[in-house]
Structure 1
């Protein structure tokens, strides 16, 4: 014989179970409309997978759950989806929730079912998945998904599996009648759950006030290792923690579950649902519900489709409205009063009590606590209900929680024995709700604080990374500036080395050009018909040497520029200016040599034959020169258009385009001069009576020192402005340091060019004054 233990407290209320055990289980029939709430379980609510107007079959899924905690909802019969929307659901608050409204068609057509001939051939995970897909949740009142409960943590081995058939609360007889009439299905469901958990011990616990159920279960479990334990009748022996203590002598730890001590409890109705899901392939679409009370003419137990309205169930039991005083969903100890009969039957609905005024009278007014201590004597959890009541009433929730408020199972024993008619359970529920609300708000605040701290840390990290990048850019800019300066110095040294050799020849050529200009000026000032004095002889060899050196240096600078552009280093701008400067020098050397040839042509031979340089140009050469001129003019026009657009957009390429325009303008000028010279040579080749001496070149206009000084002042002012912006950006660690460094370097070059132009103009004026 199995050894039994006892638990503290407990009461023996009037059972009133005989009202509903005189008749067998009857079908509740098919109502006009089924109302299926999307949340009939603990966990996330189900999500509809059907649409309004859709035709569905019996057992077809109507809603599924995406998260791990939850089970789907199925169609209890075939019909049409009439609507999806809010409707009152079974809850103490009487609140509305989203429901699916199904209009039965009366055909009761099943969808495809997949029964399992031998579940032993399946994997345990497959069996658990079938239980989940069947929508099975705990049918004893909690509604916890059965597949999760049958999968305890790996570190918690279940040694004892208990099937709870105590059904200790008064009036309720659903499990009692199920064990009497469907004992074989109970045993079959227990076998499946035992195969999944593999416990050492399987126990079916039944109170001793159910002799017919005890006999039926013993017959069904004959020749098996399942123990049928008969326990004393005492409320609340059907509570999970109390039943574990009765059968094992172990107490579930504070805040824990029976699996923590190697025990698991399942309900009788849950075992039947597991059997039908695995062996028959049927989802959970109905349950046995007790309809009792003195206000119904035919109390009994009904096999009810889920979603059946309570008023339809009361009509099947023969409700007498004139006698009905209170309508209670659940038992008289832990149930609650219904505000409307429109709520539907769900997976956890086990009883509906239609009570008369004498059967369940209104509670008397609450009186002050007399500190009798009876509530503490009957508490099955060995708590101090009086202390919990005072703390809950004073809103001292932290003290109530310190007194293990959440260990209260809300059995109602303390309220049942209280002589002052204090609704103690209501105070405890209120305190639990407030504590949960505060905990949710605290959790929300903690998450907000964590998000804020994470954001602050992220901003600080980004600021540090930004500062490190800024310092790296500044260091790179400084290194680039130093490298550019060194390369510029090296280029200047190379330019100086290449320009030292022809310096004397260049000065001599400049002096010769000055002499020629003075001679032309003197010849023009005489104003008579006499021929101008013959200019002094010019050293053509020096001029030709100067031109050749300028060409060599220009070619060298162009090669260096090409290499710099291919390497994309920082000397491109510097080399572009050097190339332009050498192009100007080559141009001046060529012009000086051309003027020398015009003013003092080489002596003719004895036969007075023209030299090859003086030979008249052919028509093909003139056409080629004209084509070159047109090409140069077209390119100049394009460059001028790009320059105008850049100036309008205030782009960074204005200065570069200005140099390109100047370069192309010089090319056009040289092409025009070459064409004019070729045409002049062609005209000179024709016979003439007398050779006309070349006209003297026009005297160059003196440079404007004031304009050059103004340009230099503007360049210096802009450089100072850029330098100030750069210093300010460096002090504030701005993002535009690199850009300002480039701007300062560019303005330094402008100042240098303006100063050089001014110095050259002063030197030219000084030379003219000296002559």
Structure 2
């Protein structure tokens, strides 16, 4: 017999479970349409993989998992995709979100399923991937992707694996009837998780107000090492941290997770989903949901396809609209009022309460705190609810956070016992929301600053690289000019920038042209004595020399205007070309004189 411990605080509200746990699970059937939100879990929403008008089969993936915490969404039945749009989803604010609308064809035709009954012969990562691909999340309420919990850090060895069958909140009986009717699947699902984690102990914890479930589990776990532990009925014994403390006597540290102390807690519904995914290859497309309250004539538990409108389930349960006061999704302690019955059943929907007038009356108006301390005595987390209330009301969020605000599990025990009817949990939720919003803004600001600093660093780096390239080009040009100056016997210093390099190239071109022009001019200056002077050729040479002189003069004027370093060189070149023009003119004049001079030597007789 395992020793049990107790946790501080806790309350004993009326159970109201007999309304829905006396009938077996019934199948809810196919509605006229299914509305499937892309986010039914903690983590990134799934990404759509189908288009409007697409025909799909039962179990086919409609939206793929994105990110580490993502899980896919599957078609609960065969049919046609009617729309992908924003529609109301289960949320306290009545918010809308992206959803896939599926119109069933009534055939309920399955896609190809890949079962893995011999999972023990497969690598563990492959089995975990199969669980993720099946879209399995925690069905106890939070909706955390189960494949993440089943692969804790290597340093956190799980010694005790606890299956949570406490279901401590009033009205809810979904886990109770599931354990009664599908105890074998619960045990088989636990065996799969135990094979993945290799714990030293496996425990199924059930409150003592569920004798039928306890008997069924004991029969299913016979001849196994699984221990069925019966715990006292007390709210909130089904809380993860409270259940771990009851079963092991260990407390999860502040800011830590159960794996830090070698424990892990899973829900019995999650175990069944894991079993269906591995042994039958079925994704998570339905769940057990309690439909209860005095405003329905036939309360009970139904297996509903995900996406089924809550209104359809209430209609099947015989909703009496004239008696209905309000709809609550979840239990009366931690649930919230539904704004509309048209929202769909999702993976975390465990209960819908159709409360008649007077069944769950609105609390009386809030009164001033009388400092009685009842909230502190009821708090299972040993917090100071009164201090947290003052800080939240005064919007002193930093002080509230220092008082371990985020350790609050929002069980509602403090609000339940408060004689002043102060909605303490609502104040805590408000404070948490403001802190998260502030942290998100701070993170956004930090990222913007990091992006700005990274951009500035990149621009500075690019400027440095550009300057280095410019200096390299200038150095290369200077070396080239120095080499050319050395070859031409020019003693002037090398150019130090791009303008000097360009000037050196211009000078080299002018030198080549000058050399070519000098050859015919030299011939004109030293004509063959046996050949008479060619006046036309000399006129052409003079014209070319005059054109070159005009070009050099223009270049000299431009260099003098811009202050270029080669102005002196150009001046010398202009002087040389002026001398050549003068010699060409003299040669042409002499040739013309020689052509018109009369013969002075008389002919021989």
Establish whether TM, by shorter chain, passes 0.5: yes
Q: Note the 1:332-343 alignment, pairs <5 A.
A: 332-343=332-343
Report SS of the residue matched to 2:530: helix
How far apart are 1:52 and its partner, in Å? 2.1
- The offset of 1:274, in angstroms, is 0.8
- The correspondence for 1:717, drawn from 557, 565, 570, is 557
What does 1:292-691 align with in structure 2 at a 5 Å threshold?
Answer: 292-489=292-489, 577-578=510-511, 580-591=513-524, 594=527, 596-598=529-531
| Partner SS, residue 409 of structure 2 | coil
Matched, 1:9 2:3: no
**CA shift at 1:43, angstroms?**
1.3
Q: Deviation per CA, 1:104-157: give whole Å up to 9, x if none.
A: 222222222222232212221121111111111110011111111111111211
Aligned residue for 1:20, secondary structure, equals coil
1:38 aligns with 2:38: yes
Corresponding residue number in structure 2 for 1:232? 232
Q: Is the 8 A contact 1:89 1:344 kept in 2?
A: yes
Distance 2:202 2:355 in 1: 38
* Structure 1 residue matching 2:489: 3-state secondary structure: helix
Deviation at 1:55, TM superposition (A): 2.2
Structure 2: distance between partners of 1:435 and 1:309:
34
Q: Name the CA distance, whole Å, in 2 between partners of 1:85 and 1:334.
A: 29
Name structure 1 gaps, 5 residues minimum.
Answer: 493-567, 601-668, 674-696, 725-743
Question: What's the CA shift for 1:751?
Answer: 2.9
* Partner Cα separation in structure 2 for residue 599 and residue 64 of structure 1: 99
**Root mean square deviation, CA, Å:** 3.1
2:602 equivalent in structure 1: none
Deviations 1:590-644 (A, max 9, x none): 34554632569xxxxxxxxxxxxxxxxxxxxxxxxxxxxxxxxxxxxxxxxxxxx
Q: Secondary structure at 1:193's aligned position in 2?
A: helix
Change (3 A) 1:215 1:749: same
Residue pair 2:545, 2:577 contacting (<8 A) in 1 also? no
Q: Alpha-carbon deviations, 1:142-182, whole Å to 9, x = none? A: 11111111111112111110000000000101101111111
More off after superposition, 44-53 vs 295-304: 44-53
Compare CA radii of gyration and give the structure with the larger one: 1
Which has the larger share of helix?
1
Give the CA deviation at 1:484.
Answer: 2.7
Matches within 5 A, 1:163-312: 163-312=163-312
Cα–Cα, structure 1 residues 364 and 489, in superposed 2: closer, same or farther, change >3 Å?
same
Which residue does the alignment assign to 1:632? none
1:756 correspondence with 2:581: no
Question: Structure 1 281/766 Cα, relative in aligned 2: closer, same or farther at 3 Å?
Answer: closer
Query: 1:230-259 deviations in whole A, cap 9, x for unaligned?
Result: 111111010001111111111111111111
> What TM-score, normalized to structure 2?
0.89
Structure 1 residue 59: deviation in Å?
A: 1.5
- How far apart in 1 are the matches of 2:79 and 2:553? 94
Q: Distance in 2 between matches of 1:721 and 1:453?
A: 45
Deviation at 1:759, TM superposition (A): 4.4
CA contact (8 A) 1:5 1:248 kept: yes
**Using CA pairs below 8 Å that are at least 6 residues apart, which structure has the higher relative contact order?**
2
| 2:324 and 2:357 in contact (8 A); partners too | yes
Q: Please give the TM-score of this superposition, normalised by the length of structure 1.
A: 0.71
**Post-superposition shift, 1:749?**
4.8
Distance in 1 (CA, whole Å) between partners of 2:506 and 2:47 is 68
Q: Secondary structure at the match of 1:19?
A: coil
Q: CA deviation at 1:589?
A: 4.4
Shift of 1:758: 3.1
For residue 576 of structure 2, give the secondary structure of its aligned residue in structure 1: helix
Displacement of 1:462 in angstroms is 2.1
